[in-house]
Amino acid sequence: MNWVSKFRKIPFWSWFWFILGVIYFVLPLYATLDFSLRMERDTLGFKAYAVAFQDPAFLKTFSYSIMLAILTIIVSVALVVPTAYWIRLRLPEARRIVEFITLMPFVVPAIILVFGLIRIYSSPLEIPFTSIVLLQPLTNFKLGTNILIIGGYVVLGLPYMYRSVDTGMRTVDVRTLTEAAQSMGASWATIILKIILPNVRTALLSGALLTFAIVVGEVILASFLGIPAFGPYLFLLGQHRAYEPAALSFTTFLLTWAAMGIIQLVTGGQSQAAGAH
Amino acid sequence: MAYLELNNINKYFGKTAAVENFNLQVERGELVSFLGPSGCGKTTTLRMVAGFETPTQGRVIINNEDVTHKSPNQRDVGMIFQSYALFPNLTVAGNIGFGLKIAKKPAEEIHKRVQDMLDLIHMPDYGNRYPYQLSGGQQQRVALARALALSPDVLLLDEPLSALDAKIRVSLRSEIRAIQQELGITAIYVTHDQEEALSISDRIVVMYNGHIEQIGSPFQIYNFPETAFVASFIGTLNSFNAEVTDLTNNVLRVGDLRLTTAENLEDRKVGDKVMIAIRPERLNFSSDLKKANLIDCTIENITFLGSIVRIQVKVGDLRLHMDTFNNPFLELPKIGDKAEITCSREAVIILQH
Ligand SMILES: Nc1ncnc2c1ncn2[C@@H]1O[C@H](COP(=O)(O)OP(=O)(O)O)[C@@H](O)[C@H]1O
Ligand SMILES: [Mg+2]
């Protein structure tokens, strides 16, 4: 009874925009699902899914992308957490500059990023004024291109990762907690690992999730760097087939949502613990 | 040699001086509070003892060791913050054991120490709770246990009770004092609340504008304030500009009123201007005519404060506050009544500046 009356109190226009938003997001999704179920004439079925999953290239590229995503997340966390922490602690005036830098992926298209990467890293690293080569061009070997793409992905995920971590740090009094830990003899490493990281866990997870979603669906960097990732595979598939790409798109979407749900479940208690300050 | 020494400490932030010429010696087991209005440099001084700030000039010495340039995690100093600063991701036991774990003490010893600390703060069964499940007062007690678990050389408390409500504040401050005395721990207690400072301290350092106004026991600070600032900041006070009129009988003139003081006027000349002060509770209705100063006045206002009744009287152009204990069988004067009040020669204090 109570929540019914609560809902009634929400004004009409709020409902209007909310429902419009839901339709905007759900309708294309529904269309994709519906289309993916119609591979066989006149019946709804999962044929498209079966065909798509049986392709060995699917499993290979998909697992490759997951691996890239995990590495990207690890690198971003290692980069973003100490940076955001230090800015909150000692360099609040640097916050604007760093925020601006993290927003670059919204300004510079991925295609520009990848050409920039290729242009810079396709020449060898030499000691200046000699021809002694310190490092072969990164684009010339497999590990090199993998390093490049992870670097690129870290940049693409930066706006999400930095913002969520920074917001997470706002909910706890980072400075005082740091001083409390220091006065108990804690080193910087201990403070970051034992105090800061656990308290921004929820924020990290949401940043990680968004990074994951970006990496798994990314096409441009992977194609131009010749990485056998899921994005280019799906793109190619889309040019030759109709139903399977729809099935795979819908599946990745479901996976993302499942991951989000799990995160909500796992961190429900934690975020409360961290937030109740 | 004192246990904790602050030798000629100066601290500048850019060009502004936060603390100047700060000298203090704290004995082992003593509780010294820093008392003063907001912005007078209490926290900055405390943070220099903790190692979170480095003095621009001067030295911090703890237990005969110069720690001026040591980082906070190398000093044996426990810190209590106004905001409790418990780690939200750790349980109460985890918080209390945090420092011991860093010191790589064996698990058994940590467990025992944590339990001892929980008993000390009268929260033996709270080890498994998280901070957000505790009230503010409980959180601050846990913070106290956490700081004490490491047996620090010095315990520093920065307005530890300011975030709590009045009742808890009073009970927790006596608990803090009891624990501090029981353990014989050396402590510095920062507060802007004069009542808190008076009730908890062995000695009080009254600060104003980055410098020390007076150091003394609560008794000295209250009864014998040396400066106008101390006198006015602590307790309510009647203070006046007066003129020395008679050196043989120690008489001062305030407007038309003549007051005799017990203070030494040897260094003064007739006509010297001085600042004098009288505490409201040192004024009485005259029943004892042996008292030196008799003041004819008119009752202007009466405020009932519970155990105390504050009466405002008018003497010519002067206004005086007078406190008497509440007594249900005593008849209070009415507003507009003429009255005669007295105070002793000792009650008239001369302030140095
Ligand atoms: N990190 C800082 N940078 C610049 N000024 C500061 C800093 N910390 C304190 N101050 C200044 O020093 C003075 C004393 O501050 P503080 O020690 O916090 O006072 P209190 O604790 O007595 O309220 C204030 O004027 C404050 O503005
Ligand atoms: Mg302060």
Residues 137-176 of A with CB under 8 A from B: 172-173, 176
User: Is A180 near chain B, with CB under 8 Å?
Assistant: yes
Q: Would you state the pLDDT for residue B319?
A: 87
Which is nearest to B49 in space by CA: B33, B68, B65, B36?
A: B68
Which member of B73, B83, B132 has the closest CB to residue A185?
B73
Q: Are B349 and B226 in contact (CB under 8 A)?
A: no
User: Is A264 near chain B, with CB under 8 Å?
Assistant: no
> Is the Cα dihedral A83, A87, A91, A93 positive or negative?
positive
pLDDT at A202 over 70: yes
pLDDT band at A83 (very low <50, low <70, confident <90, very high): very high
- What domains can you pick out in chain A, each with its CATH number? 67-227 (1.10.3720.10)
CA of B44, nearest ligand number: 1
Helix (H), strand (E) at residue A115 = helix A110-121
**Which residue does chain B place closest to A171, by CA atoms?**
B88
pLDDT at A213 over 60: yes
A41-81 pLDDT, tens digit per residue, is 778 888 888 888 888 888 899 999 999 999 999 999 999 99
**d(CA B41, ligand 1 centre) in Å:** 6
With beta carbons under 8 A apart, name residues in chain B contacting A182.
Answer: 51-52, 71-73
Q: Are B196 and B161 in contact (CB under 8 A)?
A: yes
Average pLDDT, chain B: 91
pLDDT at B247 over 80: yes
Q: Is B37 in the pocket of ligand 1 (CB under 6 A)?
A: no
With beta carbons under 8 A apart, name residues in chain B contacting A186.
Answer: 73, 98-99, 102
Which is nearest to B45 in space by CA: B1, B4, B87?
A: B4
pLDDT band at A241 (very low <50, low <70, confident <90, very high): confident
State how far the Cα of B131 lies from the Cα of A275, in Å rounded to an integer: 11
Q: Mean pLDDT across the stretch A92-113?
A: 90
Which is nearest to B123 in space by CA: B92, B149, B79?
A: B92
Q: Would you state the pLDDT for residue B104?
A: 92
Q: Is B43 in the pocket of ligand 1 (CB under 6 A)?
A: yes
Q: Would you state the pLDDT for residue A19?
A: 92
Q: Which residue's CA is the nearest one to ligand 1's atom 3? A: B13
pLDDT at B289 over 50: yes
How large a percentage of chain B has pLDDT more than 90? 61
**d(CA B17, ligand 2 centre) in Å:** 15
Residue appearing with tokens 């418990």: B86
Q: Is B48 in the pocket of ligand 1 (CB under 6 A)?
A: no
State how far the Cα of B338 lies from the Cα of A95, in Å rounded to an integer: 68
Q: What is the pTM of this model?
A: 0.80
Q: Residue A115 corresponds to which amino acid?
A: F
**d(CA B39, ligand 1 centre) in Å:** 6
Residues A182, B72: C-beta atoms closer than 8 Å: yes
pLDDT band at B240 (very low <50, low <70, confident <90, very high): confident
User: Is B98 near chain A, with CB under 8 Å?
Assistant: yes
pLDDT at B1 over 80: no
ipTM: 0.82
pLDDT at A234 over 90: no
User: Is A178 near chain B, with CB under 8 Å?
Assistant: no
pLDDT at A274 over 70: no
Q: Is B250 in the pocket of ligand 1 (CB under 6 A)?
A: no
pLDDT at A271 over 50: no
Q: Would you state the pLDDT for residue B288?
A: 64
* End-to-end CA separation in angstroms for chain B: 31
How large a percentage of chain A has pLDDT more than 90? 31
Q: Would you state the pLDDT for residue A268?
A: 60
pLDDT at A97 over 80: yes
pLDDT at B99 over 60: yes
